[in-house]
Amino acid sequence: MLALYRSILYFYPAPYRAEYGDEMLEVLSEREAETRKKSALARAPSRAREASGLLYGALQEHLRRFRGAHDRGRFRFLFLGGRVAMRSEFRFPKATVGLMLVILAAVMFTIEKAKAISASIPHGNPPVGHILPSQLTILPTLLVALISAIGAGVIGWAILFALRRSGIQQLSEMNPSAGQRRGK
Protein backbone atom coordinates (compact mmCIF):
# COMPACT_ATOMS: atom_id res chain seq x y z
CA MET A 1 0.00 0.00 0.00
CA LEU A 2 2.85 2.35 0.83
CA ALA A 3 4.38 1.59 -2.58
CA LEU A 4 1.15 2.86 -4.16
CA TYR A 5 1.23 6.03 -2.05
CA ARG A 6 4.87 6.49 -2.94
CA SER A 7 4.08 6.24 -6.64
CA ILE A 8 1.24 8.76 -6.28
CA LEU A 9 3.71 11.14 -4.65
CA TYR A 10 5.50 11.25 -7.99
CA PHE A 11 2.52 13.15 -9.39
CA TYR A 12 3.44 16.08 -7.13
CA PRO A 13 5.68 18.88 -8.41
CA ALA A 14 9.32 17.96 -7.73
CA PRO A 15 10.11 20.85 -5.31
CA TYR A 16 7.04 20.01 -3.23
CA ARG A 17 7.98 16.33 -3.17
CA ALA A 18 11.51 17.18 -2.10
CA GLU A 19 10.21 19.33 0.73
CA TYR A 20 7.36 17.22 2.11
CA GLY A 21 7.69 13.79 0.45
CA ASP A 22 9.51 11.99 3.27
CA GLU A 23 7.33 13.51 5.95
CA MET A 24 4.17 12.59 4.06
CA LEU A 25 5.36 9.01 3.69
CA GLU A 26 6.02 8.90 7.41
CA VAL A 27 2.48 10.09 8.17
CA LEU A 28 1.07 7.72 5.56
CA SER A 29 2.86 4.77 7.14
CA GLU A 30 1.46 5.73 10.55
CA ARG A 31 -1.99 5.96 9.01
CA GLU A 32 -1.48 2.60 7.34
CA ALA A 33 -0.48 1.02 10.68
CA GLU A 34 -3.70 2.43 12.16
CA THR A 35 -5.74 1.11 9.21
CA ARG A 36 -4.31 -2.40 9.58
CA LYS A 37 -5.89 -2.66 13.01
CA LYS A 38 -9.33 -2.24 11.49
CA SER A 39 -11.50 -4.95 9.96
CA ALA A 40 -10.85 -5.87 6.34
CA LEU A 41 -14.10 -4.14 5.36
CA ALA A 42 -13.17 -0.85 6.98
CA ARG A 43 -9.72 -0.74 5.39
CA ALA A 44 -10.76 -0.08 1.82
CA PRO A 45 -12.57 3.25 2.38
CA SER A 46 -9.79 4.70 4.48
CA ARG A 47 -7.14 3.67 1.96
CA ALA A 48 -9.22 5.05 -0.89
CA ARG A 49 -9.54 8.33 0.99
CA GLU A 50 -5.79 8.57 1.45
CA ALA A 51 -5.07 7.74 -2.19
CA SER A 52 -7.66 10.17 -3.55
CA GLY A 53 -6.51 12.82 -1.09
CA LEU A 54 -2.99 12.47 -2.45
CA LEU A 55 -4.12 12.65 -6.07
CA TYR A 56 -6.28 15.69 -5.35
CA GLY A 57 -3.41 17.29 -3.45
CA ALA A 58 -1.06 16.75 -6.39
CA LEU A 59 -3.56 18.37 -8.75
CA GLN A 60 -3.98 21.32 -6.39
CA GLU A 61 -0.22 21.83 -6.13
CA HIS A 62 0.18 21.86 -9.90
CA LEU A 63 -2.69 24.32 -10.28
CA ARG A 64 -1.23 26.51 -7.55
CA ARG A 65 2.15 26.55 -9.25
CA PHE A 66 0.49 27.26 -12.58
CA ARG A 67 -1.37 30.27 -11.27
CA GLY A 68 1.64 31.54 -9.38
CA ALA A 69 -0.52 31.42 -6.30
CA HIS A 70 2.56 31.75 -4.10
CA ASP A 71 1.99 35.46 -4.54
CA ARG A 72 -1.68 35.20 -3.70
CA GLY A 73 -3.11 38.50 -2.63
CA ARG A 74 -0.01 40.62 -2.99
CA PHE A 75 0.43 40.01 -6.71
CA ARG A 76 -3.12 39.34 -7.71
CA PHE A 77 -2.55 40.59 -11.26
CA LEU A 78 -0.36 37.58 -11.90
CA PHE A 79 -3.43 35.39 -11.97
CA LEU A 80 -4.17 36.73 -15.44
CA GLY A 81 -0.57 36.22 -16.49
CA GLY A 82 -0.79 32.67 -15.29
CA ARG A 83 -3.87 32.04 -17.35
CA VAL A 84 -2.32 33.47 -20.50
CA ALA A 85 0.78 31.40 -19.93
CA MET A 86 -1.42 28.32 -19.99
CA ARG A 87 -2.09 28.84 -23.71
CA SER A 88 0.99 26.91 -24.70
CA GLU A 89 -0.97 24.95 -27.31
CA PHE A 90 -0.52 27.88 -29.69
CA ARG A 91 3.24 27.67 -29.60
CA PHE A 92 4.81 26.07 -32.64
CA PRO A 93 7.41 23.47 -31.80
CA LYS A 94 10.48 23.38 -34.04
CA ALA A 95 9.39 20.02 -35.38
CA THR A 96 6.41 21.73 -37.07
CA VAL A 97 8.67 23.33 -39.69
CA GLY A 98 10.17 19.97 -40.60
CA LEU A 99 6.74 18.37 -40.73
CA MET A 100 5.41 21.12 -43.01
CA LEU A 101 8.38 20.69 -45.36
CA VAL A 102 7.69 16.95 -45.55
CA ILE A 103 4.01 17.62 -46.32
CA LEU A 104 4.97 20.17 -48.99
CA ALA A 105 7.39 17.72 -50.61
CA ALA A 106 4.69 15.02 -50.61
CA VAL A 107 2.20 17.39 -52.27
CA MET A 108 4.72 18.43 -54.94
CA PHE A 109 5.57 14.80 -55.60
CA THR A 110 1.88 13.91 -55.96
CA ILE A 111 1.32 16.76 -58.44
CA GLU A 112 4.32 15.71 -60.54
CA LYS A 113 3.16 12.10 -60.48
CA ALA A 114 -0.36 13.10 -61.57
CA LYS A 115 1.08 15.18 -64.44
CA ALA A 116 3.14 12.21 -65.60
CA ILE A 117 0.11 9.91 -65.46
CA SER A 118 -2.09 12.37 -67.35
CA ALA A 119 0.60 12.81 -70.00
CA SER A 120 0.94 9.05 -70.45
CA ILE A 121 -2.80 8.58 -71.12
CA PRO A 122 -3.76 9.16 -74.77
CA HIS A 123 -6.27 11.96 -75.32
CA GLY A 124 -9.35 9.84 -75.13
CA ASN A 125 -11.45 12.29 -73.17
CA PRO A 126 -14.66 13.36 -74.86
CA PRO A 127 -14.67 17.00 -75.89
CA VAL A 128 -16.42 19.42 -73.59
CA GLY A 129 -19.91 20.26 -74.80
CA HIS A 130 -21.28 23.71 -75.52
CA ILE A 131 -21.13 26.08 -72.59
CA LEU A 132 -24.57 27.42 -71.80
CA PRO A 133 -24.92 31.17 -71.32
CA SER A 134 -26.36 30.64 -67.84
CA GLN A 135 -23.03 29.12 -66.77
CA LEU A 136 -21.13 32.18 -67.89
CA THR A 137 -22.73 34.70 -65.53
CA ILE A 138 -20.15 36.64 -63.63
CA LEU A 139 -22.14 37.15 -60.42
CA PRO A 140 -21.74 33.63 -58.97
CA THR A 141 -18.04 33.79 -59.77
CA LEU A 142 -17.69 37.06 -57.89
CA LEU A 143 -19.70 35.67 -55.01
CA VAL A 144 -17.44 32.62 -54.76
CA ALA A 145 -14.36 34.87 -54.91
CA LEU A 146 -15.77 37.12 -52.20
CA ILE A 147 -16.59 34.20 -49.88
CA SER A 148 -13.13 32.70 -50.46
CA ALA A 149 -11.50 36.03 -49.66
CA ILE A 150 -13.52 36.38 -46.44
CA GLY A 151 -12.66 32.80 -45.49
CA ALA A 152 -8.96 33.35 -46.10
CA GLY A 153 -9.11 36.59 -44.13
CA VAL A 154 -10.74 34.92 -41.15
CA ILE A 155 -8.19 32.10 -41.16
CA GLY A 156 -5.31 34.58 -41.48
CA TRP A 157 -6.70 36.69 -38.66
CA ALA A 158 -7.13 33.62 -36.46
CA ILE A 159 -3.51 32.59 -37.05
CA LEU A 160 -2.23 36.09 -36.32
CA PHE A 161 -4.41 36.31 -33.21
CA ALA A 162 -3.13 32.98 -31.95
CA LEU A 163 0.48 33.97 -32.61
CA ARG A 164 0.02 37.29 -30.86
CA ARG A 165 -1.56 35.59 -27.83
CA SER A 166 1.14 32.99 -27.62
CA GLY A 167 4.19 34.93 -28.70
CA ILE A 168 4.55 38.52 -27.63
CA GLN A 169 1.94 38.52 -24.90
CA GLN A 170 3.17 35.33 -23.37
CA LEU A 171 6.77 36.47 -23.36
CA SER A 172 5.97 39.81 -21.84
CA GLU A 173 3.72 38.38 -19.17
CA MET A 174 5.63 35.26 -18.34
CA ASN A 175 9.05 36.73 -17.76
CA PRO A 176 8.19 39.03 -14.87
CA SER A 177 6.04 36.40 -13.19
CA ALA A 178 8.73 33.76 -13.59
CA GLY A 179 11.28 36.18 -12.21
CA GLN A 180 9.18 36.93 -9.17
CA ARG A 181 8.51 33.30 -8.52
CA ARG A 182 12.19 32.53 -8.70
CA GLY A 183 12.91 35.48 -6.47
CA LYS A 184 10.69 34.14 -3.73
Partner 1 sequence: MEVSEPVLLILLSLAERPRHGYAILQDTESMSDGRVRLSTGTLYGALARLLEDKWIERFKEQDRSRGRQAYRLTDEGRRNLQMEVSRLKRLARLGTLRVAEKGT
Contact set with partner 1 (CB under 8 A): 16, 19-20, 22-24, 26-28, 30-31, 49-50, 52-58, 60-61, 70, 72-73
Compute the least distance from the CB of residue 162 to partner 1, in Å. 35
| Residue 11 near residue 53, CB atoms below 8 Å | no
The sign of the dihedral angle between the CA atoms of 84, 89, 93, 96 is negative
Compute the least distance from the CB of residue 149 to partner 1, in Å. 53
Q: Which residue, 60 or 175, is less far from partner 1 as judged by CB?
A: 60
Q: Which residue, 10 or 157, is less far from partner 1 as judged by CB?
A: 10
As a whole number of angstroms, the distance between CA 111 and CA 115 comes to 6
Compute the least distance from the CB of residue 38 to partner 1, in Å. 13
As a whole number of angstroms, the distance between CA 156 and CA 160 comes to 6
Q: Which residue, 67 or 170, is less far from partner 1 as judged by CB?
A: 67
Amino acid (one-letter) located at 152: A
Residue 77, CA distances (Å) to 38, 72, 80, 122, 179 in order: 49, 9, 6, 71, 15
Q: Which residue, 22 or 112, is less far from partner 1 as judged by CB?
A: 22
As a whole number of angstroms, the distance between CA 37 and CA 99 comes to 59
Compute the least distance from the CB of residue 68 to partner 1, in Å. 12
Cα R_g (the chain), whole angstroms: 31
Q: Of 123, 13, 96, give the one whose Cα is nearest residue 57.
A: 13
Q: Which secondary structure element, helix H or strand E, spans residue 45, and what is its range?
A: helix 40-67
Compute the least distance from the CB of residue 55 to partner 1, in Å. 7
Compute the least distance from the CB of residue 106 to partner 1, in Å. 50
Q: Which residue, 69 or 163, is less far from partner 1 as judged by CB?
A: 69
Q: Which residue, 50 or 173, is less far from partner 1 as judged by CB?
A: 50
